[in-house]
Structures are given as C-alpha cells and as structure tokens.
Structure 1
Amino acid sequence: MSVNTSRLFLFAAMLATFGIYWTGLNGPFIFDDAQGLDIVRAWHEGTASWREAVFGDASLLFARPIPMASFLLTTWLGDSVTSFPFKLGNLVLHVACGYLVWCIARRAISHDRELRTVAPTLAALAATLWLLHPLHVSTVLYAVQRMAQLSTLFALLAVLTYLIAREQLEAGRIRRACAHLFVTLPLMVVAGLLSKQNAAVAPLLCLVLELAYFARGRMPRPVAGFFALFLGLPALGAAALLTFAPMRLLGGYDDWDFTLGQRLLTQARALMDYVGMLLIPRGPRMGLYTDDFAVSTGLFSPATTAVCIAALLAISITACLVRRRAPTFFAGWFFFLAAHAVESTFLPIEMYYEHRNYLPSVGLLMALVGLWALVPRDLPTNVLGRTQLGALAGGGFALVLCVATFGRVLIWKDENTIIEQGLRFHPQSLRVNFHAGDRAIKHGQFDVHRQLMTRLVAGPDPRNREMARLDLIYANCLSGTGGNQELLRLAAAERLPRITVLETYAFHRLSTAIRDKGCGDLTQVGLADGLREIIDAATLQPEQSQPKGVTRYVVSQIYASAGLWPQAREQVDLAWRGGGDKRAGAFLVQTLIETGRQSEASRLLAELDSRIDKDELAAQKALAALRAQLVTTRREAAPALPAARVEQ
C-alpha cells in the first residue's frame, strides 16, 4: 500500500468514526460535566469573567486553561445547555488525534528494517484500530474529557516533532533539528501540560522511540542535550521533591483508603486489565463505574497481583530481547508503559479509569502491528499467503471494533442505559448505585432507592455501608420518613479512619436537604453532631487533608443554620487553618462577626482580599457583602465602647 493509498484508507476510517459516533452526540452530560462546565455557563450568563472560567483559582501548574478556553469557544459557537456542540468538538479532536497517530506510526515504522516496506499499511491499520476502539467512547462522549484529548493531541505533536527533528539530524540539517528539539517540541509539551498534566510524559515517549529506532552507537549531541534538559532535569527535580518534600506529591494519600504500596501493586493489575480491554474488548464491562476495582493489599492478595507483575516483566523482557528484530513491538510496548507513567504509578489518584488509555493505547496498537516482524515469511498456509492472512486479521479486528464501538455509542445515548449497564456489570460500584439512587429519587421511586442502598448496607465494605446509610437519611429527608437518628448512629459507628471525597459529596447534599425540608426525627444539631463524630474518628487523617477540611466546613454551616455560631466558628476555623480554603476563610469571617470578634474578622477579611483575584467576581461579591456586614455590626456596636475594649 502506497502512502497515498494509506492516506485514503485513513480518511475512510475517519468517516466511519464520524458515522459511528454521530448517534451519540446528543447523549447526556454526566459525572464531572456539571462541575467542569458550571463556570463556563456562568461566563455565558455574565456572572463570571473569562479569566475566572479559563484559569479558575488554581495555580498555573495545576490549571487547565487550554481546554477551558476551548469550552468557552464551544459555548460561544453553540450554547452551554445542550451537549451536542461539546461532544462534536470532542469527536473532531478524536479524528485529529487519529491522523497524528498515522503520521507518527508511518514515520516510526519506516525506520524498522523488517517493516519499512509496509510502513504505510501498518500505520493506517494502527490509526484505524485506534480511531475505532470502543475503549475510547468514554473519552469522546464525556464532555470534560476534552482535557485528556487535548493533552494527548499536544503529546502526539511533540512526538511527531521529535521524529521530524531526528530525521533532519540524520540528513545533516542541524539548525532545523535543533529548532524543533529546543523550541517547537517544548512548546507542544507546555501546551499539553496546560491541558492536563499527564502530557509531561512526552519527552519519555521520545526516549522510547530513540532507543527503538535510532540507538546505533553514540547519541548525537543535540539529542543528548535535549534529553538531559527536558528529561534528566525534571527527573532530578522529582527525585529531590520526593526526598526532601515528599508530602508535596504524596500527601494526597491521606484522602484515600489505600497506601502508596497498595496503589503500586494494584496498578500492575490495572495495566494488565487495560491490555486485555485493548486486545479483547469487553464492551459491557467498560464504562465509568470502575470504582469497584479491588485494591491489592499484598503480592498475593489477590493472587492475580503477582501474576500481573510477572506478565508485565515477561512482556518487557521479551520486547528488549527482540528489539533489533522487532523495534516497533519494543517501541509500542514501552510507549504504552511510559504513557502511563503519570497516572498509573505513585500519584495518589483513583485506581482505574479507562480514559487513561487514550494516549497509551497508541503504543499498544503499534506494538500489535509491530508483531508482524516476527511472523515468518515462509509461513505455511494452504490457500492464503502471509500478506492476505495479515490483511484478513487486521480487517476482521477493525470490523469487530466497529461493531463494539457502535454498541457502546448506543449505550451512551441515554443516561438510563449507562446506569443500567453499570448496575449489571459493576453491582458493588458505589458510584453507579448512587447514580441509580439519584435517578430513583428524581422520579419519586423511594422504594427503589431503599433497595439499592439496603444491598450496599448488607455488603462487606464498611465505607459502602456508611455511605449507603447516609444516603438513606438523605432520601428520608426528602420523603419525610423517620429512623434517621439510628441510621446516623450506625454510620458513625463504622468509625472509619479516613474521610474520602465520596463522603464530602454525601455530607454536603445531606446538609442541604435537612436545611430545606427538615429530616423527621433528626435535627440540624443532631446531624452536625453526628458528622462531627465521623470527623473525629478519622484519626489517621491530618486536618490539612481536603476531605476533612470540606467536611468541617459543611458541619460549620449546619451549626450556623441552627444558630450555634460558636460551634460553627470552631469547625470552620479548623477547616481554614488546615487547608487555607478561601471559601472556608470567608465563612470564618462571618462567624467571627456573628460572635462579636470584629477585629479578627477585619484582619482575616484583609488577608482574603489580598489572596482573591479581582477577576473572581463571585468571591469579590461575597467579600463586599462581608465588608458591609462588618460595617453594619460595628455601627450597631458603636455605643457599647467599654464592651468593645474588653473584647480587644
């Protein structure tokens, strides 16, 4: 297959991708879409500035301004209410990434001595398999995963730039090569980092390609300098951070139920599960409800942990042994591992998400086509030749992927089908049970909600039991059913040593429900006391942890709603001192005003004013209201000068 024929084949795959995904573009917003796009809607309605929407309140290191800016553009071109323009934008990005996969594979495989004559064909096949793979449905049709897509787009551009620069070096065009290595490529990496931080793996991916295709002696000086500057120095910085300030990277483990060692063990199983899903897609088991992925607590607990570690080592050793004969297999396999280096190693984040394979899957599919180099040329066949068998296998796999992807797209057309499939194949997922419970409450089906939560209460997981009881209280608050004091007592009796992000969600909506509608035999003070007991039981978690601070903030609001301002001040003060959250700081100002501590309130208000940017419109409005309240309180307290002096 010539390059032009290969390109035509790729364009046909792109059209097929558009056709398959088109029916799912009107699917629902889900999960983090609401949180991620709320600020975009606020900008569209004029209640937030563009800087607030693009940069948020995070530092530039953790902000994701490029995808947020793209969401503003989508809203400006379309609207912020319907999902179609957001998902269409994601589909366009998916096809663009597919084209880059073809460009990279074609250039890379052309340096493979065994496969260079069929490089265009194998590149078209790898890109087609990537475009049509059902594992990517939950990235393309999940609006906020544009962050992962843009990060992948810029990482692929960086890798392509490296291949171009490397070819220019071999052709003796040193200046152009250096311009690409030290200007263009770093700009692509920075753009990727401003989309999502896992684009940091791009220089490591370039090293993989260097070792696979170009390592034939001493590394050229520009290449050595590039890796020293953009891979060696960051690695030394990360090592120094882990050595001298490990909590900067590992402090997040206080927010989860697993340790660093358990995460590393579990990721071996996760990686092999990703490999299985990419090579043998199991559509019904795919999806977003993977929070039931079991944690490995030891090398043989479960036993598959050791098996998966052994499998990863065996494949890696094999790839090294056949590197000279099958460099594309070597490149693809280690591309897959390197691309997982951020999200599937030591960072304290959730165990398993299939969208983490959006970039790594490029490598695994390249490894798959790279195996062609190991197929004997004189393979004995009865009817079909070696080339015909390869075409039949590749075309058959592509057809299977088309059918599987279309099936997943049909599931993603409707939130109900997404939830029902999750309940069927992930019955112990807390996330899917909560989503199904919310759906039942929305339709007034409180008996269905009770059945779902009762099943979790009967399960072995103490956190699931606690969360299910809290959600039963929430449903009872809405339906006017009693028995909530006992449910809260039983939830607190679990005495979990840590509070996770999951609880903060439950606590927040429970506090909202009890303020709005009451909760039968459970009063606001009773709820606040119960949640405080849950917080105090989390002894393995420092006050600086985000979930603990958020929970104290919620409890302080409940106390304030009940008129108990001293208790509210105590809790929000702990939240503010622990994490320095500006929202907690603003509420602390209010509690100080309400408890007669105007001078402290004034000092804290000045501190917040210096920390909150002028473009944060909502926060500035809140500060203005607090200033007005403080002025009014001082004016009312003006005649009582002796009392004010005593306070100071």
Structure 2
Amino acid sequence: MTAFFQSRFSLLLKVGLLGLLLLPLLTLSPALTGPFLFDDHSNLEALAILEGGGTKAAVEEYLAEKSAGPTGRPLSMLSFMLDALDWPADAEPFKFTNLLIHILNGLLLAWIVLMIVRQWSGRLTDRQIALGILVAAFWVLNPYQLSSVMYVVQRMAQLSTTSVLLGLILYLYGRGCIVVGKNAKGLLFIWLAYLCGAGIGVLFKENAALFVLMVPLFELLLFSRADVERRCRLLLGVTLVLPALVMIFLLGSYFFSGHSYEWYRDFTLSERLLSQGRAVGYYLWRYLIPGVGYVGIYADGFEKSVSLFQPLSTFIWIIVHGVLLVCAILFARRVPLFSLGVLFFYVAHSMESSAVPLELFFEHRNYLPSAFLLLGLFHLPRINVTSIVLLLLVLVCGALQYLQATYWGSERYLTSIMVLQSPKSERAVINYANYLEKNGEAFKSLNVMRRYAEDEPAGVDLALNIIKMGCFLGMDAESDVPLLQQSVVKYRGKAATIVSQLKVVGQWIKDGRCKHVTLADLDAFWDNYLAAYPRDGEATQAYFVGKSYIAFQERNYAKFSRRMEKALDSHPNLSLAYSVCSQFTVNGGPEQGCNCFKDNEYMVQIHREQGGTLVQRFLGSREKLINDYREEMSAVCAVARASGGDPN
C-alpha cells in the first residue's frame, strides 16, 4: 500500500511539474495584446502580396519578396501565413503562435535534459526527472525570454531552436542505438538528426547551422569511443568531424573580412570582438539572475568596447568567460553536464557573437544558447534541496515574466518603458515618437526627439525624423539643419531608407512646408554622408540617387540625368537601371530611354550570377526582373526606331 501511494504521489508530482511548462499560457498572456515591433513591419508587410488568398504564384512571390539572410528563411516566412494572409494584420494571432512554439520548445528541452541525464547516470530516478523538468521550466518561464517570444519576427529564432532541439533528440536516440550495437539504425537517426537540426533548421534561421558544432560536444562529453564498434567508427567520425570543420572554416573566414566592417558598421572587427565579451556576459547574467528591467529589443544604445579596459567591464567579462571555459574543459571528466551546459552556451553564440559583422547586441540571440546552462545542477550532492530551491526560483521567474508581460501588452507602456530602459537608444526614442504621432500627439512627438538630440549625438534616422515631423507641423527650426549635417558621424544609417526619407522631405520643401530646411541643405547632407565613412558601391550609388532626386525637385532634368547615370555607374543594380531607364523614357524620350537600357544591359548577367537568397534562386524570381527589363528595353527601342531616333 505504501508503494502504491508513493508511486501515485510520484506521478502527480511529475504531472504537476510538467504543468509548469504550460504556465506561459498564463504568464505571457498579457503580452498578446501588444503591438508589432521594430522590423516586424518590414518583414511581414510582404503578406500583402497574398491579398487574403494563397495561390501558388502569390506564395512564391511572397517568399521571394524578402531577402532575410542567405537562405531567405522560407519556412519561417511560410509560418507567418498561419496567422494572416494579408497586411496590415492583427498582431495577437502572431504572438499567440509564438507562445505555442515557446511552450513546445520547453517540452522538447525537458525531453532532451532527461535523455542527457539518463545517458550520463545510466538510469533516471524520480528526483532526477523532477529536477530535469525544473531546469526546462526555468528556461521557459525566464522573463529574459519575453522579447524572443513576443517580438513576432523572432519566430525565426524560435523555430530554428525547435529544429535544433528535435535534431538533438534524434542524435541522442541514434547514438543510444549504436551503444547497444544497432549501428545501421543509429547512423540513420544521426543522419536524420543532421537533416533536421542543420538542414531544415537553416531554412528557419541560419544559426541552426551551428548544430554541426553542438553534436560533437554531446559526443565527447556523454559517450565513449569504446561504445562504437570498429566498423562503425569511421562513418560516425566523418559524420561528426567533417561538417564541424566546414563550419569552423566558414566562421573563421569572417576574421579576415574586415572590409565588411569598413563598409557597413560603426565599429571595427576588434571592437566588435571586445564588445561581444560584454554582450555575452550580459546574456549570461540576465538569464541566471532573472529580473524585470532589460534592454529590450532596441539595443543600438549598447556601448561598444574600444579597448580592453574601456569600458572596464570588457576586461572583467573576458576574465569571467575565460575562467568558465577553462573550468569546463579541465573538469569535463568530473562534471560533464556542467561542461556541456557551459560549452554549449558559447558554441551556440559563436555565430552571432563572434566575427560576423552583425549589430552588437540583441536579447533573442540568447534564446537557444541558454537552454542547458543549469545542467550542472545534477552534479550537486543534495538533489532534493536543489530541486526545492529551483522550484522557488521557477515560481519567481513566472511571477516576473507575468509582470513584464503586462508592460508588453500596452503599446503606450512598452514604448515609454523601452526609452527608460535604453536611454541612449535612438531607435527606442523614434519608436516612442512614432507612437505619439500616431495617436494624435505630434507636438509631443517632436519634443521627445528634440530632447534626446540635446542630450545625445543624433544619428541620421533621428535627424531625419525631426526634420520630417518639424516640416509636417510647420515647426522646423534653424537648429535642425546642423543637426542633420552632423548626424552622419554617429551612425551610417541604411542608404535605401535615407534616400526614401529625404525624397519625402525634398517634396515637402518644394511644396513650401519647411520653413528653414532647403534643398541646398539636403544636397550638402549627401556630400557629408559620402565623406563621413568609406563607402562601398551601394552606398555611393545611394549618394548619387539622393542627389538626383534633389535635382528633380529643382526641375533641373539635365542634372538629374547626369547624377542618375553616375548612380548606375557606381554599382550594378538591375532594378535601379530598370526604374531609371523607364524614367528617362518618360522625361527624355524613347531614344534616351533606349540608350540607357542598352548601356546597362551588362547588369543582366551580373544580376543572374550574383546576390539573391536561396529561395529567390530556387523560385527563379530573379529571372522575372531580367525578363521585365528586356521586354521593356525591346518596347522602348521599338518606339525609338519608329520615331527615327535609334537606327539599331
């Protein structure tokens, strides 16, 4: 009878603990009413192509529209169709789907943790099961995961995590088969693991490719070479080693691509590497010591490290990381689960937090790396006490997650709080100002941006938003002009965005809506833009395009044509050539248009051979532009010949 009650209690305990993994349905529910954020709009607006339906042609055009990463992340883009088939759309269905994916990942994590512990100890006790579920619950209820779940577009990071976790489950199962002599079955599951974890995972997001570096960690720390029959060792070794070496080579190549920083970033390779010591340290600290006040999604205010001691925290965190890594390696035999959690953390960060020229900091980068950080708890001697303490921490995490989610459910609270949490973030200020303007508080919006510019150096985006809002209200000031001219020093800005915004300002100047900002000021801005940093062909092209629009507003068509021709000479851009040559046809006549099309036809081959995502190449979407270009060229040149302009 005692055994019966003990088994019944054990079952209830396990079910109750598993229930913790479902708690995000409660703790994150207040955030479901929150808005789309940051680049949600730019990534999801392609849904408008579907127009409420899902024809094959429309879906292909939708998938090819965006160029997110080298692959285009087609599976992530397809997943957004579960929530809407048009745009604009309501954010809540997207956020709820993200929430369900997060819970699924929590359940998968619990499963993997228990598989790891069973492989390590040879069996699973009730106490180990309870602690394993609590480790997963700490991850799923950690308030630091909130931005990864409720920032809709980070579904890409969530789903790549799902693929990696499923891949690890398949690997552990397959490796277990090899241990008991089922070599063929084991290798099959390991190959399926690579297909799922890396092959399918990169179609969600590219960092899933790190799966090929994660698996060798599990092999080295959980399994023995003696477990593998000699005839199977070679196949297993090639499977584990070859993909890992390729990935190390690819990641290492970024250490020799300093030009990427020279063209696109406001920090050097060395500054990024130093800064990542602090960034990864912040991820580690915020996950292990849960709280409420975080950086959030706007991390452009994250200070870069310019030397080993500036700021001093750079040196401190490098020491901390060094100690953790040395301990994980030296004590791998004694405490393999601790070593696995630590080494997995750093390997999973090795793409987005190394030499790849990405921005310095984003919280969602810690979503997968943090998964196994608490594995070392299984080495503690008093597992009951450990479980009780961890249970209390999990409940605290749940309460903090719920509290933070209440802020995320209100756009007004969220936009204002993000400014308070990241006072140096220009993006946070612009986001708050846009919210105010959208809700009829345009004057307050302008004041918020100008107050920031008084305290911090203004970047291009902020300066342009101040001028746009000032002209819109008829309140642009003389001080806005030097602010714009100096803004290029702080941050390069994205050239295409700058062109589109200045095009609007130029039109407003022409319409007389701006009191102090002139077309000459915009022309001078472009000169400052070009001189502020080394510029690649694309940025130089944007410079000439921007200046050509100014000439167009001045009604100086000859200058417009010269500048656009220089823009086309700066960088092979078939889309721009198509647009410019069509414009020449309208304004300068079919002869000028035909000559333009013919002069730039060389871009067709470049367009076919270079650039584009994996999806765009697979669907042949780049050929569509080529066909459109050639059809338009034929039509324009035919008109030119008919009018006697072009004898060819």
Q: TM-score range by the shorter chain?
A: 0.7 to 0.9
Choose which of 222, 229, 235 in structure 2 pairs with 1:222. Answer: 235
Report the more deviating stretch, 536-545 or 140-149.
Answer: 536-545
Give the structure 1 partner of residue 555 of structure 2: 563
Give the structure 2 partner of residue 38 of structure 1: 45
The answer on whether the counterparts of 1:130 and 1:365 sit within 8 Å (CA) in structure 2 is no
1:582/1:631 Cα in 2 relative to 1: closer, same or farther (>3 Å)? closer
- Aligned-partner Cα distance in 1 for 2:156–2:572: 27
Q: In structure 2, what residue type is equivalent to 1:36?
A: N
Secondary structure of residue in 1 paired with 2:373: helix
Q: Residue by residue, what CA displacement relative to the aligned partner does 1:217-255 show, whole Å, maximum 9, x if unpaired?
A: 69733331112232123334555x558xx54x9625521
Give the structure 2 partner of residue 433 of structure 1: 429
Give the structure 2 partner of residue 381 of structure 1: none
1:408/1:263 Cα in 2 relative to 1: closer, same or farther (>3 Å)? same
Q: Does 1:537 align with 2:531?
A: yes
Choose which of 455, 472, 477 in structure 2 pairs with 1:478. Answer: 472
Q: In structure 2, what residue type is equivalent to 1:127?
A: A
Give the structure 1 partner of residue 244 of structure 2: 231
The answer on whether the counterparts of 1:543 and 1:574 sit within 8 Å (CA) in structure 2 is no
Measured after TM superposition, the shift of residue 168 of structure 1 is: 0.9
Choose which of 142, 147, 158 in structure 1 pairs with 2:156. Answer: 147
1:199/1:556 Cα in 2 relative to 1: closer, same or farther (>3 Å)? farther
Report the more deviating stretch, 37-46 or 520-529.
Answer: 520-529
The answer on whether the counterparts of 1:135 and 1:286 sit within 8 Å (CA) in structure 2 is no
Q: Does 1:127 align with 2:127?
A: no
Q: Does 1:492 align with 2:498?
A: no
What's the TM-score once normalised by structure 2's chain length?
A: 0.86
- Aligned-partner Cα distance in 2 for 1:256–1:514: 27
1:158/1:114 Cα in 2 relative to 1: closer, same or farther (>3 Å)? closer
- Aligned-partner Cα distance in 1 for 2:355–2:599: 37
Choose which of 264, 267, 270 in structure 2 pairs with 1:255. Answer: 264
Q: In structure 2, what residue type is equivalent to 1:227?
A: L
Give the structure 1 partner of residue 3 of structure 2: none
Report the more deviating stretch, 589-598 or 2-11.
Answer: 2-11
The answer on whether the counterparts of 1:565 and 1:591 sit within 8 Å (CA) in structure 2 is no
Measured after TM superposition, the shift of residue 27 of structure 1 is: 1.8
Q: Does 1:405 align with 2:398?
A: no
What's the TM-score once normalised by structure 1's chain length?
A: 0.86
Choose which of 447, 451, 455 in structure 1 pairs with 2:447. Answer: 451
Give the structure 2 partner of residue 16 of structure 1: 23
- Aligned-partner Cα distance in 1 for 2:141–2:64: 33
The answer on whether the counterparts of 1:585 and 1:604 sit within 8 Å (CA) in structure 2 is no
Give the structure 1 partner of residue 594 of structure 2: 599
Measured after TM superposition, the shift of residue 522 of structure 1 is: 5.5
1:577/1:90 Cα in 2 relative to 1: closer, same or farther (>3 Å)? farther
Give the structure 2 partner of residue 371 of structure 1: 377
The answer on whether the counterparts of 1:456 and 1:468 sit within 8 Å (CA) in structure 2 is no
The answer on whether the counterparts of 1:44 and 1:75 sit within 8 Å (CA) in structure 2 is no
The answer on whether the counterparts of 2:83 and 2:94 sit within 8 Å (CA) in structure 1 is yes
Measured after TM superposition, the shift of residue 58 of structure 1 is: 4.0
Q: How does 1:105-116 map to 2 (within 5 A)?
A: 105-113=113-121
Q: Does 1:86 align with 2:94?
A: yes
The answer on whether the counterparts of 1:253 and 1:260 sit within 8 Å (CA) in structure 2 is no
Report the more deviating stretch, 553-562 or 418-427.
Answer: 553-562
- Aligned-partner Cα distance in 1 for 2:21–2:521: 55
Structure 2 segments unaligned to the other structure (5+ residues) = 1-5, 609-615
- Aligned-partner Cα distance in 2 for 1:213–1:272: 27
Give the structure 2 partner of residue 417 of structure 1: 413
Q: Residue by residue, what CA displacement relative to the aligned partner does 1:520-579 show, whole Å, maximum 9, x if unpaired?
A: 24677435413321332134222245xx54454444344334433444444444554545
Give the structure 1 partner of residue 612 of structure 2: none
The answer on whether the counterparts of 2:119 and 2:222 sit within 8 Å (CA) in structure 1 is yes
| Count of paired positions | 620
- Aligned-partner Cα distance in 1 for 2:69–2:288: 37
Secondary structure of residue in 2 paired with 1:24: helix
Q: Residue by residue, what CA displacement relative to the aligned partner does 1:462-503 show, whole Å, maximum 9, x if unpaired?
A: xx255443322111210122435x6334432466397232x7
Measured after TM superposition, the shift of residue 518 of structure 1 is: 4.4
Report the more deviating stretch, 432-441 or 168-177.
Answer: 432-441
Q: In structure 2, what residue type is equivalent to 1:448?
A: K
The answer on whether the counterparts of 2:33 and 2:91 sit within 8 Å (CA) in structure 1 is yes
Report the more deviating stretch, 556-565 or 308-317.
Answer: 556-565
Q: In structure 2, what residue type is equivalent to 1:106?
A: L
The answer on whether the counterparts of 1:497 and 1:538 sit within 8 Å (CA) in structure 2 is no
Measured after TM superposition, the shift of residue 460 of structure 1 is: 4.9
Measured after TM superposition, the shift of residue 181 of structure 1 is: 2.1
The answer on whether the counterparts of 2:47 and 2:62 sit within 8 Å (CA) in structure 1 is yes
The answer on whether the counterparts of 2:481 and 2:517 sit within 8 Å (CA) in structure 1 is no
1:617/1:151 Cα in 2 relative to 1: closer, same or farther (>3 Å)? closer
Give the structure 1 partner of residue 346 of structure 2: 337
- Aligned-partner Cα distance in 2 for 1:161–1:628: 52
Measured after TM superposition, the shift of residue 581 of structure 1 is: 3.8
User: What is the CA RMSD across the aligned residues, in angstroms?
Assistant: 3.5
Q: How does 1:286-301 map to 2 (within 5 A)?
A: 286-301=295-310
Choose which of 359, 364, 386 in structure 2 pairs with 1:350. Answer: 359
The answer on whether the counterparts of 2:460 and 2:492 sit within 8 Å (CA) in structure 1 is no
